[in-house]
Amino acid sequence: MTGPSFFDEGALVAVLTTQPLDRLLDYKAPEGGCHLGAFVEVPLGPRKVLGVVWGAGEGGYDLAKVRAVNRVLDAAPMREEMREFLTRAAEYTLTPMPAMLRLATRSPGLGDPPSMRKIYRLGRGEPDRQTDARRRVVATLSEFGGLAFTLKEIAEMAGVSTSVIKGLVSQGVVREEESPRDLRYPRLDPGQSQYTLTDEQTKASSALRAGIASGRYGTTLLKGVTGSGKTEVYLEAVAACLAQDRQALVLLPEIALTAEFLARVEDRFGARPAEWHSGVTMTERRRCWKMVGEGGAQLVVGARSALFLPYRDLGLIVVDEEHDTSYKQEDGVLYNARDMAVLRASMASAQVVLASATPSLESWANAEAGKYTRLELTARFGDAVLPKMGAIDMREEVLPGNRWISDTLAGEVRARIAAGEQSLLFLNRRGYAPVTICRACGHQIGCDHCDARMVEHRFLKRLVCHQCGETKPIPSVCPSCKAEDRLAPVGPGVERLGEETTALFPEARVAVLSSDLFGSARALKAQIVAIAAGEADIIIGTQLVAKGHNFPLLTLVGVIDADLGLQGSDLRAAERTFQLMRQVAGRAGRAEKPGLALLQSYQPEHPVIKAILSGEEEAFWRAEAAERKAVGVPPYGRMAGIVLSSPDVQAVFDLGTDMARRDGPLRDIGAQVFGPAPAPIARIRGRHRVRLLVKADKGVPLQKALAAWVGQFRIKGDMRLAIDIDPQSFF
Ligand code: ADP
Ligand code: ZN
């Protein structure tokens, strides 16, 4: 960028605000002037809004009418690299800039001046009398050892009013202290790994260290079976990065995984890093945002939005479990954190490590094409060996109605219980039953706002729509034919599987792990730790458990319905099933004991099931790649999904048809439009949804053509248009 980097008082500056406007706004620089990139508060109508000084103002109108910037916020100005990154990410995802800026400023009070605040920790006193509320406060604080929290945080965690805590302060049970709001994070010591790395690990870690030492951009796919030491190896890259005084970011797909990972970082580097995800408090969020910008945080562990923090000097981004679908943000700004990590790193001369036991076909293809370096860890660490795999042919099992655990599987579970080992029964379906049907008239209970069936959640005693989150009580009368007590659950969810398991193995301790059974991320973490310590014989779980947890006592994995992911028209169905099954199977036998993974299937001869069982990954990928190449779909072609939605069904179809007809800008680049067709879920929250799909060759300027195409149409009133570049799911 050219132009001045500082603006004197009264100079015209162009400000990008977080408000949904399609242009920059001109203001006069405030008293004392301001830097290019400064975070500022500007007047907009009667309001004050957040913005960033993006460049020199345009001028060319009555300067007397231009208002001045209210104030420059107390935060390091946004660096040029970050402004470039937001601009490029916006161009790639076809997102308006204000929405990008909102992503980059999701830190309440980011501009507040440094100040003190009161924090509270456990003191030495005894309360004059005990109450439940008081006990909860003490228990909450003891749980976190010597850590201190704000009044509000404690009140929330313990579920008490702040007056209870104040009462305890007056008796010395809880101590009140003053502390600066935003502390630097403790220094991490890159030091040495406490392990002697194996040859394979050493080779991989040297390659990653060399990448860091180059000071240039590069992406490495670190592929290794679960338990092969990927984490250990990429922590070496983190160490190398920290030793260069550059910052590192580790992205994890699931908040529930952070606890385990943070403990590991503490072991390796002697202190905890900064944390960034929806589970951290507002105060911590702001501290993290500020310290990342000021250089007071060396390592950030977080969710995908941590990519948009204002790093001073980012040297490494690790994307752990890079194939995980949760890296794709599916509402608001539609971006894939894995791809944006590569973009950001390429602009920051940083290295990217994509770690996975089962890489995405995209990353596999990029490595094949030589764009990424590929490193491989083939052996599990120590004596741990990969589990044996087998299929249970469900056509040969005799199962009474409403039962899903075959005799063969039950026998294996029983053997594990007798040996004091754990079993995992995997079913990727939350709730009690996916369908509730009336036995009198056949009516299935659906959501009032979506074209989706309501899922019974017995634990919550509600029916829940997994599309919009709408819930309603479980009725006793059929809403259609009014028959009484004829509604019946059909099919299994994890809760129902839990019931069956308890009935089959009354002596066993059964733990059901599903995100919706836990009030908070913390409760879930606690449960995972307890299970890892052996406090369950049988674990029942959804895909939550497929993601990288360490259960040393687990030696058997039973996949209840291996066919589940194979149906459906999703282009990635086979890839997903393959990854998920391999991941789940990887849970078994992580410590000394060998594991066994059994897949219940009605079609064990299906190519995907066979590939999973034989473990011939390369063969699977090659076949999958050939298939996609033949039809020109990602990663061998480009796609964009367009979803139009409106409460007015006629209006969406009319617009969709019009868009399909006037496709000139797309035809200019040789792209094709498919549709309009009703989206697979044709109605969500009362809005009718119509989908168009654009397919283009690799290497054409797709975004520009899309912008020109969409620009021809007026999106009026209640109509909404969302563009999804490289769509991951098709709903
Ligand atoms: P992955 O990330 O591939 O699943 P991890 O890095 O978590 O693998 O390693 C699996 C387990 O093996 C961890 O408990 C880790 O501490 C241990 N481990 C890995 N490499 C070594 C080593 N060289 N020496 C000792 N323990 C190791
Ligand atoms: Zn719904």
CB of 431 sitting under 6 A from ligand 1: no
One domain, residues 38 and 58 = yes
Can you list the positions of beta strands (E) in 531-578? 538-541, 554-559
CB of 709 sitting under 6 A from ligand 1: no
| Ligand index nearest the alpha carbon of residue 233 | 1
Choice between 520 and 605, residue whose per-residue pLDDT is larger: 605
One domain, residues 689 and 575 = no
CB of 102 sitting under 6 A from ligand 1: no
Q: What is the pLDDT of residues 461-488, one digit of tens each?
A: 888 887 777 788 888 899 989 999 899 9
Q: What is the pLDDT of residues 300-357, one digit of tens each?
A: 999 999 999 999 999 999 999 999 888 988 777 889 999 999 999 999 999 999 999 8
For residues 264-301, b (16+ Cβ closer than 10 Å) or e, as one string?
Answer: ebeebbeeebbbbbebbeebbbbbbbbbbbeebbbbbb
One domain, residues 275 and 323 = yes
CB of 547 sitting under 6 A from ligand 1: no
Q: What is the pLDDT of residues 34-82, one digit of tens each?
A: 999 999 999 999 999 999 999 999 877 777 889 999 999 988 899 999 9
Boundary (domain end) residue, out of 597, 624, 651: 624
pTM: 0.80
Q: Is there a contact between 207 and 373 (Cβ–Cβ < 8 Å)? A: yes
In a domain? residue 60: yes
Q: How crowded is residue 576: how many other Cβ atoms within 10 Å of its Cβ?
A: 23
| Ligand index nearest the alpha carbon of residue 318 | 1
CB of 227 sitting under 6 A from ligand 1: yes
CB of 229 sitting under 6 A from ligand 1: yes
For residues 324-339, b (16+ Cβ closer than 10 Å) or e, as one string?
Answer: bbbbbbeeebbbbbbb
| Ligand index nearest the alpha carbon of residue 234 | 1
Contacts 24+ apart (CB under 8 A), 495-502: 495/431, 495/432, 495/457, 495/458, 495/459, 496/432, 496/433, 496/458, 497/404, 497/405, 497/425, 497/427, 497/540, 497/560, 498/540, 500/402, 500/403, 500/404, 500/405, 501/405, 501/425, 501/538, 501/540
With a pLDDT cut of 70, the percent of the chain lying above it is 94
Confidence at residue 531, expressed as pLDDT on a 0 to 100 scale: 86
Boundary (domain end) residue, out of 377, 400, 418: 377
Residues linked to residue 512 through DSSP beta bridges, in sequence order: 540
Q: Whose CA is nearest to atom 11 of ligand 1?
A: 227
Domain CATH number, residue 142: 1.10.10
One domain, residues 219 and 157 = no
Confidence at residue 240, expressed as pLDDT on a 0 to 100 scale: 96
Amino acid at 411: G
Distance from C-alpha of 469 to C-alpha of 454, rounded to nearest angstrom: 10
Boundary (domain end) residue, out of 89, 105, 139: 89
| Ligand index nearest the alpha carbon of residue 226 | 1
Confidence at residue 592, expressed as pLDDT on a 0 to 100 scale: 65
Domain CATH number, residue 684: 3.30.70.600
Q: Whose CA is nearest to atom 20 of ligand 1?
A: 229
- Residue 515's pLDDT band, with cuts at 50, 70 and 90, is low
One domain, residues 325 and 209 = yes
H helical segments located in 426-515: 494-504
Distance 233 CA to ligand 1 centre (A): 9
In a domain? residue 329: yes
Inform me whether the pLDDT recorded for 382 exceeds 80.
Answer: no
One domain, residues 569 and 697 = no
CB of 356 sitting under 6 A from ligand 1: no
Confidence at residue 145, expressed as pLDDT on a 0 to 100 scale: 65
Distance from C-alpha of 376 to C-alpha of 224, rounded to nearest angstrom: 6
| Ligand index nearest the alpha carbon of residue 451 | 2
In a domain? residue 68: yes
CB of 195 sitting under 6 A from ligand 1: yes
Atom of ligand 1 nearest to the CA of 377: 3
Distance 686 CA to ligand 2 centre (A): 8
CB of 198 sitting under 6 A from ligand 1: yes
Q: Which domain holds residue 712?
A: 638-725
CB of 583 sitting under 6 A from ligand 1: no
Confidence at residue 607, expressed as pLDDT on a 0 to 100 scale: 81
CB of 258 sitting under 6 A from ligand 1: no
| Ligand index nearest the alpha carbon of residue 357 | 1
CB of 471 sitting under 6 A from ligand 1: no
Confidence at residue 384, expressed as pLDDT on a 0 to 100 scale: 52
Q: Is there a contact between 487 and 438 (Cβ–Cβ < 8 Å)? A: yes
Residues linked to residue 68 through DSSP beta bridges, in sequence order: 28
**Ligand 1 pocket check: which of 192, 201, 381, 551 to mutate, most ligand atoms within 8 Å of Cβ?**
381
Distance from C-alpha of 505 to C-alpha of 292, rounded to nearest angstrom: 51
In a domain? residue 52: yes
- Residue 622's pLDDT band, with cuts at 50, 70 and 90, is confident
Distance 564 CA to ligand 2 centre (A): 22
Atom of ligand 1 nearest to the CA of 224: 3
Distance from C-alpha of 622 to C-alpha of 283, rounded to nearest angstrom: 48
One domain, residues 160 and 232 = no
CB of 201 sitting under 6 A from ligand 1: yes
Atom of ligand 1 nearest to the CA of 195: 24
DSSP result, 186-233? PPP-----SSPPPHHHHHHHHHHHHHHHHTS-EEEEEEE-TTSSHHHH
In a domain? residue 437: no
Element at 71 (helix H, strand E): strand 71-72
- Residue 386's pLDDT band, with cuts at 50, 70 and 90, is low
One domain, residues 575 and 620 = yes
One domain, residues 668 and 720 = yes
Domain count, the chain: 5
CB of 415 sitting under 6 A from ligand 1: no
**Ligand 1 pocket check: which of 232, 354, 547 to mutate, most ligand atoms within 8 Å of Cβ?**
232
Q: What is the pLDDT of residues 635-654, one digit of tens each?
A: 888 989 999 999 998 999 99
Q: Is there a contact between 705 and 669 (Cβ–Cβ < 8 Å)? A: yes
Q: What is the pLDDT of residues 113-161, one digit of tens each?
A: 766 778 888 888 888 888 999 999 888 888 776 677 888 888 888 889 9
One domain, residues 236 and 357 = yes
In a domain? residue 694: yes
CB of 326 sitting under 6 A from ligand 1: no
Q: Is there a contact between 565 and 428 (Cβ–Cβ < 8 Å)? A: yes
CB of 193 sitting under 6 A from ligand 1: no
Distance 165 CA to ligand 1 centre (A): 42
CB of 532 sitting under 6 A from ligand 1: no
Q: What is the pLDDT of residues 199-254, one digit of tens each?
A: 999 999 999 999 999 999 999 999 988 778 999 999 999 999 999 999 999 999 88
CB of 231 sitting under 6 A from ligand 1: yes
Distance 464 CA to ligand 2 centre (A): 8
Domain CATH number, residue 22: 3.40.1440
Mean pLDDT of 284-289: 90
One domain, residues 537 and 401 = yes
Domain CATH number, residue 235: 3.40.50.300
Element at 654 (helix H, strand E): helix 649-661
Confidence at residue 126, expressed as pLDDT on a 0 to 100 scale: 85
Which residue, 516, 517, 549, is CA-closest to 531? 549
Distance 451 CA to ligand 2 centre (A): 7
| Ligand index nearest the alpha carbon of residue 205 | 1
CB of 200 sitting under 6 A from ligand 1: no
Q: Whose CA is nearest to atom 26 of ligand 1?
A: 195
Confidence at residue 1, expressed as pLDDT on a 0 to 100 scale: 47
Q: What is the pLDDT of residues 81-125, one digit of tens each?
A: 999 999 999 999 999 999 999 999 988 777 777 667 788 888 888
Q: What is the largest CA-CA distance in the chain?
A: 85
One domain, residues 353 and 318 = yes
In a domain? residue 186: no
In a domain? residue 231: yes
Residue identified by tokens 């056949």 is: 442
